[in-house]
Structure 1
Amino acid sequence: MPSLRFALNHMAAPSLPIQDLFALAGSLGIDAVEIRNDLAGNAIIDGTSPGAVAKAARHHGMTILSINALQRFNEWNARRADEALTLIEYAKACGAQALVLVPKNDGTGRADGERQDNLRQSLAALKPMLDTAGIIGLVEPLGFEICSLRSKREAATAIDALSARSTFKLVHDTFHHHLAGEGQLFPDMTGLVHISGVNDPAVSVADMRDPHRVLVTADDRLDNAGQVRALVEAGYAGRFSFEPFAAEVHDLKDPASALRASMGYLSASV
């Protein structure tokens, strides 16, 4: 079994300035990161220029895998087009390889037929924008019952309908994969894997939310180890990016030790 290739999403340590995030990754032997546009007081939302991000990444030897994320991407309108263009231009200027695309998650747009049409419309509009910039679109279905795109199969079908595998890849998020209950893996269409665990023994699967998402340990209820093993055995050779949302992780005084332990657990389990 090949060794796992890890990455660090800024959500793993959202209070760290972006240069410190890069330094943290480097201290763990990780050379790839995901930056975010939803962290108040931090890059990108604080006005940090893409050039400054690119310079910091070069200094620390980091590859920027993605900007996370264009929200409500499958609700296409003039505002969304403007948001997409701004993020795609930032991605290109800072050297990011991809832009994560997150569907609307408010209970709307879920009707059969409607959601597929909305998805195809958005992907068709995004394709030339992404292709011009040389940026990959990473489509991330969310497993929540209220989400307008829960299924990776639906996303894959829409991508293939546009003959757009060179533009779009899937995000396999271990949390959302478990919540969606979708058994099929799409290793050949997967561009990135997000990893996080849920240890709380009391919460039901239907009630699991982002604040439950911790680093993966032996107490994990989502079978991250099994999911990672299955992806690797099926041919996925990309990155496994830590994306915990729990306050208990964000408040850690020594995130490096906790991340190193989780990396060790997953490597040994796979």
Structure 2
Amino acid sequence: MTAQLKFALNHMTAPRLDCRAFLDLAASLNCVGVELRNDLADKNLTTAPFFDGEAPAMIGAYAREKGLRLLGLSEAYGFNAWSESMRDKVQLLINQAAEAGAESISLIPRNDAPVYAGDEREEALRRALRNIIPMLDKAKLIALIEPLGFVTSSLRHKADAVASIKAVGGEAHFKLVHDTFHHHIAGDRDFFPEFTGIVHVSGVIDPDLAPEDMQDRHRILVDDRDRLDNLGQIRALLDAGYEGAFSYEAFSADVHALTAPAMPLRQSMEFIAAT
């Protein structure tokens, strides 16, 4: 890659590490920042609460001591099925982000999409965005919307997210997560560098999987066997002017089981940077 890549780590890549050890790992790899997650315990990947039970401000301060940006907090899942309980979930994440000094929160669409009639899908998304705008505005935060490429997703394509952001006048409040895995399995061809707030990278190597059969559990570190064209996607984003972080988000149990993840991560980063 001709450009200097800014790598980051999503806590999903090393969920067995507590927050401080995870931040130490990111700093040792010269990452620009990290993303922390509130769903690791829900996924049975840890028994620790969010922020390991520490005050968010303490973890945020530790990140800055290590020279790291707290790029974002994940996640408010199912945000496009708006309700008062969803409002509370989003507000809590905003409050935690503000206390920690995080730059964004992540909004994840529901992945069990009902059968929508007419424009119901778009209206559900836009209703949620309209309600979230004043919450973000008050906190001076942005939210990252991550389309999920699964066939069961209620928001598969980045173009649909961009159209709804524009429809509600949310350009100053919302950006996209470009996830190389979801971009591939959704069959997306469009890149929106001006709307992209962060890029998630992971690889899939199983030669027998059709895109529609790829699942989170198949997502490993990127190497020369990758089927998702991470290198091509990264080049396209850089060539189009994207200057943000590329954050490793590997869901595979094989990656989670690594007792010393620094070297495999470094090798993957070096592979991407050198190609």
TM-score (norm 1): 0.97
Q: Distance in 1 between matches of 2:20 and 2:226?
A: 30
Greater alpha carbon shift after TM alignment, 125-134 vs 50-59: 50-59
Q: Distance in 2 between matches of 1:101 and 1:109?
A: 21
Q: 183, 188, 192: which is aligned to 2:189?
A: 183
Q: 244, 250, 256: which is aligned to 2:250?
A: 244
Corresponding residue number in structure 2 for 1:218: 224
Corresponding residue number in structure 1 for 2:19: 18
Q: 222, 226, 232: which is aligned to 2:238?
A: 232
Deviation, structure 1 residue 47: 3.0
Deviation, structure 1 residue 59: 2.5
SS in 2 for 1:75: coil
Deviation, structure 1 residue 112: 4.7
Given the alignment of the two structures, is residue 167 of structure 1 paired with residue 173 of structure 2, yes or no?
Answer: yes
Deviation, structure 1 residue 39: 1.5
Given the alignment of the two structures, is residue 143 of structure 1 paired with residue 149 of structure 2, yes or no?
Answer: yes
Deviation, structure 1 residue 224: 0.3
- CA-to-partner distance for each residue in 1:180-214, whole Å, 9 max, x for gaps? 11101001110110000101112221110000000
5 Å matches for 1:1-270? Answer: 1-40=2-41, 41-44=47-50, 46-108=52-114, 110-269=116-275
Q: In percent, how many aligned pairs have the same letter?
A: 47
Which AA in structure 2 matches 1:81?
A: R
- CA-to-partner distance for each residue in 1:63-101, whole Å, 9 max, x for gaps? 100001110010000100000111100000001000010
Q: Distance in 2 between matches of 1:150 and 1:132?
A: 29
Q: Distance in 2 between matches of 1:134 and 1:37?
A: 21
Greater alpha carbon shift after TM alignment, 15-24 vs 200-209: 200-209
Which AA in structure 2 matches 1:136?
A: I
CA contact (8 A) 2:6 2:32 kept: no
Closer, same or farther in 2 for the Cα pair 1:268/1:39, shift >3 Å? same
SS in 1 for 2:53: coil
Closer, same or farther in 2 for the Cα pair 1:8/1:109, shift >3 Å? farther
SS in 1 for 2:189: coil
Which AA in structure 2 matches 1:39?
A: L
Which AA in structure 1 matches 2:155?
A: L
Give the RMSD, CA atoms, in angstroms: 1.2
Q: Distance in 2 between matches of 1:32 and 1:49?
A: 19
Closer, same or farther in 2 for the Cα pair 1:22/1:110, shift >3 Å? farther
SS in 1 for 2:254: helix
CA contact (8 A) 2:7 2:31 kept: yes
| Count of aligned pairs between the two proteins | 269
Gaps (5+ residues) in structure 1?
Answer: none
Deviation, structure 1 residue 134: 1.0
Gaps (5+ residues) in structure 2?
Answer: 42-46
CA contact (8 A) 1:38 1:45 kept: no
CA contact (8 A) 1:136 1:169 kept: yes
TM-score (norm 2): 0.95
SS in 2 for 1:240: strand
Q: Distance in 2 between matches of 1:31 and 1:262?
A: 16
Q: Distance in 2 between matches of 1:111 and 1:255?
A: 46
